[in-house]
Chains A and B, each alone.
Chain A
Amino acid sequence: MKKKNIILTALAVIALSSCDLTLYPEHETTPEQYFRNESDLLLWSNNFYTDNLSGADIGQNDADDKIDNGLSAYITGSRNASTQSWGFTSLRNINYMLDHLDQCEDLQVRKKYEAVGRFFRAWFYFLRVRTYGDVPWFDHVVGSADKDELYKDRDDRGYVMDKVLEDIRFAADNLPSSWERNNTRVTKWAALALGTRAALYEGTFRKYHEDLGLTDADKYLRIAAEMGKEFIDESPFSLYNEGTQPYRDLFWQKEPKTQEVILCRVYSVDLGVSHSVPYNIMFGRTSMTKRFMNHYLMADGTRFQDKQGWETMTYTEETKGRDPRMAQTVLCPGYTYNGSTAVVPSKLSSHTGYEPIKFVGDAASQLVGNGEHPWIIFRAAEVYLNYAEAVAELGTITQTDLDLTINKIRSRAKMPMLSLEKADANPDPFLLSCYPNVTRSAHTGVILEIRRERTVELVLEEPTRAWDLFRWKEAKQALNHFNPWYGCYIPGAGTYDMDNDGKDDLEVYASTPASNLPTRLQIGKDFVLSEGDHGYIVGYPGTDRGGDWNDAIDYLWPVPKAQIEIYADQGYKLSQNNGWDNR
Chain B
Amino acid sequence: MKKLLYILAVLLVSIPALAQRNAHPIKGKVTEASGTPVVGAYVYNTVTSKGDVTSLDGSFEIQAVTGQIVKVTCMGYKEVEIAAPASSILDVTLEEDNEMLEETVVVGYGTQKKINLTGAVSVVTDEALKDRPTSNGLRALQGVDPSLNVIIGSGNPTEGQNINIRGVPSVNSSTPLVLIDGIPEGQLHQLNSNDIESISILKDASAAAIYGAKASAGVILITTKSGKAGKAKINYSFNGGVTQPTTPSDFITNGYDYVTLINPLYKARYNYDFFQTGVYDTVVEQTLLRKDDVKENPERPWVTIDDDGNYHYYGNFDWYHNIFNTNRRHQEHNLSISGGSDKVKYYISGRYYDQEGTLSGPIIGTKENYSSYAFRAKVDAQILKWARWTVNGAVNSNNQIYPGVTNEALTIAGLDQNLVPIFTPTNPDGSYVLLPKDLRNVFLGTGRVAEIQNPDTFHKISANRITLANNLHLDLLKGLTFDADYNLNFYHRIYKDRNLEDTYSNIIGTFATTNRYSKDSYRERTYDYLLHSADAYFTYDTTFGGGNNLKVTAGANYETYRLVDNTVTLTGVGSKDLATFNSVTDDSIFEVTQDISAYKTLGFFGRLNYDFKGRYLLELSGRYDGSSRFQGTGNIWGFFPSASIGWRFTEEPFMEPLRSWWSNGKIRFSAGSLGNQQVTPYQFMETIDSGTISYLFDNSGKPQSTSVSAPNSSDLTWETVTTYNAGLDLAFFNNRLTFTGDAFIRDTKGMITSGQPVPTVYGASAPKANSTDLRTTGYELMLSWKNTRNVLGSPLYYNITATLGDYTRKITYLSYENRLYSGNYVGKTLGEIWGYHVPGLFRSDEEAALYQEAVHNASNVYQRVYNMLTDGYLRAGDVKFDDANGDGYINNGSGTVENPGDMSIIGNTTPRYTYGLRLEGNWKGFDLSVFFQGVGKRDWYPTANVDAIYGANLFWQLYTYPIPSFVEKDYADRCWTEANPDAYFPRVRVITCYNGGPLGQNNDRYLQNAAYLRFKNLTVGYTIPALKSVFSKIRVYASGENIWYWSPMKRNTRVIDPELAVSTTTYKSGTGSGYQMPRTFCLGIDVTF
Residue among A2, A49, A182, A271 facing the most chain B CB atoms (10 A cut-off) = A271
Query: Taking the complex as formed, is A573 at the interface, i.e. its CB lies under 8 A from any CB of chain B?
Result: no
Taking a contact as CB atoms closer than 8 A, the residue among A19, A92, A272 that contacts B762 in the complex is A92
Taking a contact as CB atoms closer than 8 A, the residue among B474, B702, B704 that contacts A272 in the complex is B702
Structural contact, A180 and B698, CB atoms closer than 8 A: yes
Min CB distance A222 to B, Å, is 31
Structural contact, B697 and A43, CB atoms closer than 8 A: no
Query: Taking the complex as formed, is A89 at the interface, i.e. its CB lies under 8 A from any CB of chain B?
Result: yes
Taking a contact as CB atoms closer than 8 A, the residue among B701, B870, B872 that contacts A271 in the complex is B701
**The 5 nearest A-B residue pairs measured at CB:** A92-B763, A23-B628, A46-B705, A28-B687, A27-B596
Q: Quick check: which of B299-307, B341-349, B600-608, B822-830 contacts chain A, the rest being far away?
A: B600-608
Taking a contact as CB atoms closer than 8 A, the residue among A17, A82, A151, A266 that contacts B697 in the complex is A266
Mark interface residues in B691-735 (1 if CB within 8 Å of A CB, else 0): 001111111011111111001000000000000000000000000
Query: Taking the complex as formed, is B894 at the interface, i.e. its CB lies under 8 A from any CB of chain A?
Result: yes
Min CB distance B1073 to A, Å, is 21
Query: Taking the complex as formed, is A267 at the interface, i.e. its CB lies under 8 A from any CB of chain B?
Result: yes
- A17-B556, A25-B596, A27-B594 are known contacts. Are A266 and B698 too (CB-CB below 8 A)? yes
- A21-B627, A369-B516 are known contacts. Are A40 and B602 too (CB-CB below 8 A)? no
C-alpha spacing A538/B685, complex, angstroms: 59
Interface size, A (range)? 35 or more
Structural contact, B761 and A182, CB atoms closer than 8 A: no
C-alpha spacing A32/B894, complex, angstroms: 44
Query: Taking the complex as formed, is A208 at the interface, i.e. its CB lies under 8 A from any CB of chain B?
Result: no
- A9-B482, A28-B687, A518-B278 are known contacts. Are A22 and B628 too (CB-CB below 8 A)? yes
Interfacial residues of chain A within 250-271, with CB under 8 A of chain B in the complex: 265-271
C-alpha spacing A92/B477, complex, angstroms: 66
Instruction: Contacts A9-B484, A46-B697 known; list 4 others, CB within 8 Å.
Output: A88-B763, A271-B702, A563-B760, A566-B758
Structural contact, A150 and B758, CB atoms closer than 8 A: yes
Structural contact, B516 and A269, CB atoms closer than 8 A: yes
C-alpha spacing A21/B559, complex, angstroms: 10
Taking a contact as CB atoms closer than 8 A, the residue among B536, B598, B690 that contacts A23 in the complex is B598
Query: Taking the complex as formed, is B646 at the interface, i.e. its CB lies under 8 A from any CB of chain A?
Result: no
C-alpha spacing A566/B816, complex, angstroms: 11
Taking a contact as CB atoms closer than 8 A, the residue among B271, B484, B707 that contacts A12 in the complex is B484
Query: Taking the complex as formed, is A13 at the interface, i.e. its CB lies under 8 A from any CB of chain B?
Result: yes
Query: Taking the complex as formed, is A482 at the interface, i.e. its CB lies under 8 A from any CB of chain B?
Result: no
Structural contact, A367 and B441, CB atoms closer than 8 A: yes
Structural contact, B695 and A50, CB atoms closer than 8 A: yes
Complex contacts, A34 vs chain B, CB 8 Å: 688, 706
Structural contact, B687 and A29, CB atoms closer than 8 A: yes
Interfacial residues of chain A within 454-490, with CB under 8 A of chain B in the complex: none
Complex contacts, A86 vs chain B, CB 8 Å: 760
A-B contact pairs, 15 of them (CB 8 A): A16-B536, A21-B628, A22-B628, A28-B682, A50-B693, A85-B760, A92-B763, A144-B758, A184-B698, A185-B697, A266-B696, A266-B699, A268-B699, A270-B515, A273-B695
Query: Taking the complex as formed, is B340 at the interface, i.e. its CB lies under 8 A from any CB of chain A?
Result: no
Residue among B477, B703, B761 facing the most chain A CB atoms (10 A cut-off) = B761
C-alpha spacing A185/B696, complex, angstroms: 10
C-alpha spacing A574/B695, complex, angstroms: 35
Complex contacts, B662 vs chain A, CB 8 Å: none
Min CB distance B501 to A, Å, is 10
Complex contacts, B708 vs chain A, CB 8 Å: 31, 93, 96
Structural contact, A21 and B601, CB atoms closer than 8 A: yes
Complex contacts, A9 vs chain B, CB 8 Å: 474, 482, 484, 536, 538
Query: Taking the complex as formed, is A503 at the interface, i.e. its CB lies under 8 A from any CB of chain B?
Result: no
- A23-B599, A181-B698 are known contacts. Are A47 and B762 too (CB-CB below 8 A)? no
Taking a contact as CB atoms closer than 8 A, the residue among B595, B598, B689, B697 that contacts A182 in the complex is B697
Query: Taking the complex as formed, is B534 at the interface, i.e. its CB lies under 8 A from any CB of chain A?
Result: yes
| Chain B positions near chain A (C-beta within 8 angstroms) | 271, 278, 386, 441, 474, 476-477, 482, 484, 515-516, 519, 534, 536, 538, 555-558, 594-596, 598-602, 604, 626-628, 631, 636, 681-682, 685-690, 693-699, 701-708, 711, 757-764, 766-767, 857-858, 870, 872, 894
Structural contact, A560 and B484, CB atoms closer than 8 A: no
C-alpha spacing A369/B701, complex, angstroms: 17
Q: Quick check: which of A135-143, A199-207, A388-396, A425-433 contacts chain B, the rest being far away?
A: A135-143
Query: Taking the complex as formed, is A244 at the interface, i.e. its CB lies under 8 A from any CB of chain B?
Result: no
Residue among A33, A89, A267 facing the most chain B CB atoms (10 A cut-off) = A89
C-alpha spacing A379/B699, complex, angstroms: 21
Taking a contact as CB atoms closer than 8 A, the residue among B482, B599, B696 that contacts A265 in the complex is B696
- A21-B601, A23-B600, A47-B705 are known contacts. Are A5 and B474 too (CB-CB below 8 A)? yes
Query: Taking the complex as formed, is A6 at the interface, i.e. its CB lies under 8 A from any CB of chain B?
Result: yes
Query: Taking the complex as formed, is A87 at the interface, i.e. its CB lies under 8 A from any CB of chain B?
Result: yes
Structural contact, B764 and A25, CB atoms closer than 8 A: no
Min CB distance A153 to B, Å, is 11
Structural contact, B764 and A16, CB atoms closer than 8 A: no
Interfacial residues of chain A within 64-91, with CB under 8 A of chain B in the complex: 76, 78, 82, 85-91
Min CB distance B842 to A, Å, is 22
Query: Taking the complex as formed, is A44 at the interface, i.e. its CB lies under 8 A from any CB of chain B?
Result: yes
Interfacial residues of chain A within 549-583, with CB under 8 A of chain B in the complex: 560, 563, 566-567, 574
C-alpha spacing A266/B711, complex, angstroms: 32
C-alpha spacing A526/B628, complex, angstroms: 68
- A43-B705, A89-B764, A92-B762 are known contacts. Are A19 and B693 too (CB-CB below 8 A)? no
Complex contacts, B686 vs chain A, CB 8 Å: 30-31
- A2-B477, A88-B762, A182-B698 are known contacts. Are A16 and B271 too (CB-CB below 8 A)? no
Q: Which residue of A lies closest to B386 (CB)?
A: A2
Min CB distance A51 to B, Å, is 10
Interfacial residues of chain A within 89-125, with CB under 8 A of chain B in the complex: 89-93, 95-96
C-alpha spacing A19/B638, complex, angstroms: 16
C-alpha spacing A367/B761, complex, angstroms: 39
Q: Which residue of A lies closest to B755 (CB)?
A: A144
Structural contact, B706 and A43, CB atoms closer than 8 A: yes
C-alpha spacing A89/B765, complex, angstroms: 9
Query: Taking the complex as formed, is A306 at the interface, i.e. its CB lies under 8 A from any CB of chain B?
Result: no
Complex contacts, A30 vs chain B, CB 8 Å: 685-688
Taking a contact as CB atoms closer than 8 A, the residue among A26, A40, A567 that contacts B598 in the complex is A26
Complex contacts, A47 vs chain B, CB 8 Å: 693, 705-707
Min CB distance A427 to B, Å, is 41
C-alpha spacing A526/B696, complex, angstroms: 42
Structural contact, B702 and A567, CB atoms closer than 8 A: no
Structural contact, A89 and B484, CB atoms closer than 8 A: no
Taking a contact as CB atoms closer than 8 A, the residue among B441, B555, B688, B760 that contacts A87 in the complex is B760
C-alpha spacing A27/B594, complex, angstroms: 8
Structural contact, A17 and B760, CB atoms closer than 8 A: no
C-alpha spacing A525/B759, complex, angstroms: 50
C-alpha spacing A2/B478, complex, angstroms: 11
Complex contacts, B534 vs chain A, CB 8 Å: 16
Complex contacts, B694 vs chain A, CB 8 Å: 50, 272-273
C-alpha spacing A86/B441, complex, angstroms: 38
Complex contacts, A33 vs chain B, CB 8 Å: 688
C-alpha spacing A49/B704, complex, angstroms: 12
Structural contact, A265 and B695, CB atoms closer than 8 A: yes
Structural contact, A150 and B762, CB atoms closer than 8 A: yes
Structural contact, A268 and B596, CB atoms closer than 8 A: no
Residue among B476, B534, B762 facing the most chain A CB atoms (10 A cut-off) = B762
Q: Which residue of A lies closest to B559 (CB)?
A: A19
Complex contacts, B386 vs chain A, CB 8 Å: 2
Min CB distance A18 to B, Å, is 9
Taking a contact as CB atoms closer than 8 A, the residue among B595, B697, B761 that contacts A136 in the complex is B761
C-alpha spacing A266/B858, complex, angstroms: 38
Q: Which residue of A lies closest to B483 (CB)?
A: A9
Complex contacts, B858 vs chain A, CB 8 Å: 76, 78
Complex contacts, A40 vs chain B, CB 8 Å: 706
Taking a contact as CB atoms closer than 8 A, the residue among B441, B556, B696 that contacts A13 in the complex is B556
Complex contacts, A560 vs chain B, CB 8 Å: 760
Residue among B594, B636, B757, B872 facing the most chain A CB atoms (10 A cut-off) = B757
Complex contacts, A518 vs chain B, CB 8 Å: 278
